[in-house]
């Protein structure tokens, strides 16, 4: 049975779906005003892996991951770049999809945007007003009354009295409480807006997720996730407005990913350690970054250093080296390895333990390669099978081992041609030329192996 740690209460719980026919999962997506950063990669690789594993376990999953396509940051960035906000959103969405594809993150089943759900957002706000949980200010903003919400602060463990005591005086003096938050922002001159019963305006950040997930998954669904930075106030506010608008429970399990640090420091532009996925993907194969993300438990902080990612690169090369001799035969011990892997993943999606199983499997396959080559090949097939559950080992092994993200196709073809030129020189007993080419290849970071009359190569 799958067990997961529920942020709501902080305890590990057995996963019991609301409906055995379909699991509903909603994950808060990216606000598309800039390129994605390392933290985005960590969160969305984690939830991609969780969805993959649930499907591997036999569950039918409906996975919804939104895009925030209207926001103060989007409006401000569009004014900086001199483009229409819609153009900025389209451009950054395409860049996000490009980065996620490089990390082998599968598209969600539904990718909603708030600008496509304005009627649902307005309807939800009207319901909150009618139930006495929201109010209209003189400036025609609609605010949520946190005092009216039951158990506000329960998800994050916040003490409301302490929050109130520590809250700064609200900029908007029309708030009934400093903790109240906006559901509908009245339009400002020159900003995008939509018609509503309260005048032209646009939705607040928190309300969009409640409206979209209830529209696509119903008012009560299984799993809601996101980065740990969203626990408060975003997810706390989601719970408040959703449970105030609808009778009954909202989400059964809340899952949150740990933050990514850089050399043990919080990633920040002011510290000059802010790393985009695009920067990293120009230096590393996307699968290397995926393995790096999975090397830590999704709930724990993950520290980025070049050495840590280089370790992931070397580890992935070891796995692919074993995959090179995979066959279509199933290992006699396949079920035992699958069971060890399953026990690791059933324990709160423990990818570090699951990876340890895979590395044990790779070690055994290598040990059997000389004396039991058929069983070694079968074990390698099992390794590929388990890796692909995690979104790993999906590339052709030799091609992966020969890849370098810094090389374009022309450089790759030239390297391949030089390997062949060395092989031709050896066949013609031109040993000096063969040695010269080998020395040049090694200077390019190429590792050659001559075995059984054939030369194979890979990137060091």
Report if residue 273 sits inside a domain.
Answer: no
269 is in an annotated binding site: yes
| Boundary (domain end) residue, out of 228, 261, 294 | 261
Cα–Cα distance for residue pair 408/418, rounded to 1 Å:
16
Mean pLDDT, consecutive 10-residue segments, the chain of 460 residues? 97 96 97 96 98 98 98 95 97 98 98 98 98 95 95 88 60 79 95 96 97 98 97 97 95 97 81 88 96 98 96 95 86 91 98 98 93 92 97 92 72 74 78 79 75 64
CB 214 within 8 A of CB 249: no
Q: What are the beta bridge partners of residue 256?
A: 226
- In this structure, are 386 and 449 located in the same domain? no
Q: How far is CA 19 from each of CA 3, 56, 181, 195, rounded to the nearest angstrom? A: 17, 17, 33, 37
Number of independent structural domains in the chain: 3
Task: Please give the pLDDT value at position 270.
Answer: 64
- In this structure, are 140 and 205 located in the same domain? yes
Characterise 73 by phi-psi region: left (phi > 0), alpha (psi -120 to 50), beta (else): alpha
Task: Please give the pLDDT value at position 164.
Answer: 67
293 three-state secondary structure: helix
- In this structure, are 337 and 382 located in the same domain? yes
CB 215 within 8 A of CB 120: yes
223 φ, ψ to 5°? Answer: -130, 135
Report if residue 64 sits inside a domain.
Answer: yes
Q: How far is CA 259 from the centre of its chain?
A: 12
Q: What are the beta bridge partners of residue 371?
A: none
- In this structure, are 299 and 186 located in the same domain? no
CB 379 within 8 A of CB 364: yes
323 is in an annotated binding site: no
Q: How far is CA 417 from the centre of its chain?
A: 38
Report if residue 378 sits inside a domain.
Answer: yes
- In this structure, are 337 and 395 located in the same domain? yes
- In this structure, are 427 and 297 located in the same domain? no
Report if residue 182 sits inside a domain.
Answer: yes
| Boundary (domain end) residue, out of 351, 376, 401 | 401
Report if residue 149 sits inside a domain.
Answer: yes
- In this structure, are 294 and 389 located in the same domain? yes
238 is in an annotated binding site: yes
- In this structure, are 427 and 350 located in the same domain? no
Report if residue 344 sits inside a domain.
Answer: yes
* CATH number of 310's domain: 1.20.120.640
- In this structure, are 238 and 328 located in the same domain? no
Cα–Cα distance for residue pair 68/204, rounded to 1 Å:
11
324 is in an annotated binding site: no
28 is in an annotated binding site: yes
Structural domain boundaries enclosing 453: 409-459
| Boundary (domain end) residue, out of 378, 401, 424 | 401
What is the rounded radius of gyration, in angstroms, for the C-alpha atoms of the chain? 26
* CATH number of 245's domain: 3.40.50.620
Alpha helices in 187-266 (DSSP H): 205-217, 236-245
Residues 6 or more apart whose Cβ sits within 8 Å of residue 427 = none
Q: Strands 221-227 and 251-257, how do they pair?
A: parallel
Residues 6 or more apart whose Cβ sits within 8 Å of residue 279 = none
Q: Strands 221-227 and 265-266, how do they pair?
A: unpaired
Q: Strands 61-65 and 23-27, how do they pair?
A: parallel
- In this structure, are 257 and 349 located in the same domain? no
Q: Provide the whole-model pTM.
A: 0.90
Report if residue 342 sits inside a domain.
Answer: yes
Task: Please give the pLDDT value at position 10.
Answer: 95
Cα–Cα distance for residue pair 386/76, rounded to 1 Å:
45
Cα–Cα distance for residue pair 257/235, rounded to 1 Å:
13
Task: Please give the pLDDT value at position 170.
Answer: 47
- In this structure, are 447 and 388 located in the same domain? no
Number of continuous H segments (helices) and E segments (strands) in the chain: 16, 15
- In this structure, are 451 and 373 located in the same domain? no
Cα–Cα distance for residue pair 9/156, rounded to 1 Å:
9
Report if residue 274 sits inside a domain.
Answer: no
Indicate the helix (H) or strand (E) that contains 135: strand 134-136
């Amino acid at each position: 049975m799958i067990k997961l740690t529920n942020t709501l209460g902080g305890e590990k719980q057995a996963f019991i779906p609301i409906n055995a026919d379909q699991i509903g999962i909603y994950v808060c997506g990216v606000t598309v005003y800039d390129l994605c950063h390392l933290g985005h990669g960590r969160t969305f690789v984690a939830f991609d892996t969780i969805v993959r594993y649930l499907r591997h376990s036999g569950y039918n999953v409906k996975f919804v991951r939104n895009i925030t396509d209207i926001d103060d940051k989007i409006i401000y960035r569009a004014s900086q770049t001199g483009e229409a906000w819609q153009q900025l959103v389209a451009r950054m969405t395409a860049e996000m999809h490009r980065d996620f594809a490089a990390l082998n993150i599968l598209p969600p089943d539904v990718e909603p945007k708030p600008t496509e759900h304005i009627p649902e957002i307005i309807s939800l706000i009207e319901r909150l007003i009618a139930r006495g949980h929201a109010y209209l200010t003189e400036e025609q903003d609609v605010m949520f009354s946190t005092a009216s919400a039951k158990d506000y602060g329960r998800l994050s463990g916040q003490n409301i009295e302490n929050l109130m005591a520590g809250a700064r005086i609200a900029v908007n003096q029309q708030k009934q409480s400093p903790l109240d938050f906006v559901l509908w922002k009245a339009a400002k001159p020159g900003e995008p807006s939509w018609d509503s019963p309260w005048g032209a305006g646009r939705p607040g950040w928190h309300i969009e997720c409640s409206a979209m997930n209830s529209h696509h998954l119903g008012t009560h669904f299984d799993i809601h996730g996101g980065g740990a930075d969203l626990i408060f106030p975003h997810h706390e506010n989601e719970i408040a407005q959703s449970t105030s608008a609808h009778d009954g429970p909202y989400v059964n399990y809340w899952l949150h990913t740990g933050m990514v640090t850089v050399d043990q420091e919080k990633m920040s532009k002011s510290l000059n350690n802010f790393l985009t996925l695009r920067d990293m993907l120009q230096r590393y194969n996307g699968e290397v970054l995926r393995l790096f993300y999975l090397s830590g438990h999704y709930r724990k902080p993950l520290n980025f250093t070049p050495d840590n990612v280089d370790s992931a690169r070397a580890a992935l090369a070891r796995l692919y080296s074993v995959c090179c001799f995979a066959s279509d035969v199933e290992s006699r011990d396949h079920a035992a390895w699958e069971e060890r892997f399953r026990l690791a993943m059933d324990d709160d999606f423990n990818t570090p333990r699951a990876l340890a199983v895979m590395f044990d499997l790779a070690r055994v396959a290598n040990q059997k390669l000389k004396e039991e080559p058929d069983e070694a090949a079968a074990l390698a097939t099992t390794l590929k099978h388990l890796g692909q559950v995690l979104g790993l080992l999906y590339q052709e092994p030799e091609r992966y081992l020969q890849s370098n993200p810094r090389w374009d196709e022309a450089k790759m073809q030239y390297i391949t041609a030089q390997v062949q030129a060395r092989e031709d020189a050896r066949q013609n007993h031109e040993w000096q030329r063969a040695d010269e080419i080998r020395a040049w290849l090694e200077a390019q970071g190429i590792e050659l192996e001559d075995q059984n009359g054939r030369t194979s190569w890979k990137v060091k």
